[in-house]
């Protein structure tokens, strides 16, 4: 079992005030690490140096986030809506 907890922490009083707790449910595919058998790789012959002809630039703005990052992003946005402008947030860390 895993949980995602968001809390406000007061540095002066050294106390944590929990905002939300959410259970993380993982799929079997998401958490599995495939067993990689140890294979001896043959040494490759040295080819041409540089980028292959005809290969173009790739769009770096397309990001694939892990599901846990999407879940944490949703939780943080909900917490920020709950706080609104009542409390000034100085630091934020994951």
First to last CA, the chain: 20
* Ranges assigned E (strand) in the chain: 2-10, 15-24
Distance CA(20)–CA(7), nearest Å, equals 7
Please check whether residue 76 lies inside any domain of the structure.
yes
pTM greater than the 0.75 cutoff? no
Amino acid 36: pLDDT: 52
Please check whether residue 49 lies inside any domain of the structure.
no
In the chain, the number of structural domains is: 1
Q: pLDDT tens string for the chain (94 positions)?
A: 889 899 988 889 999 999 889 888 877 665 555 545 555 566 666 778 888 888 888 877 877 878 888 888 888 888 888 888 888 888 887 7
Amino acid 70: pLDDT: 86
Domain of 80, in residue numbers: 1-29+64-94
Residue 28: HSE in the Cβ half-sphere, 13 Å Cα cutoff: 0
Please check whether residue 38 lies inside any domain of the structure.
no
Whether 47 and 36 have beta carbons less than 8 Å apart is answered as no
Amino acid 31: pLDDT: 52
Q: Which two tokens stand for residue 44?
A: 């490759």
Please check whether residue 75 lies inside any domain of the structure.
yes
């Amino acid at each position: 079992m895993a949980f995602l907890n968001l809390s406000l922490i007061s540095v002066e009083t050294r106390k944590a005030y929990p905002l939300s707790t959410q259970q993380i449910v993982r799929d079997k595919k998401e958490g599995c690490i495939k067993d990689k058998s140890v294979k001896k790789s043959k040494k490759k012959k040295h080819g041409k140096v540089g980028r292959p002809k005809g290969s173009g630039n790739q769009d770096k703005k397309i990001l694939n986030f892990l599901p846990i990052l999407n879940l944490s992003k949703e939780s943080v946005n909900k917490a920020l809506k709950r706080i609104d402008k009542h409390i000034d947030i100085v630091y934020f860390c994951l």
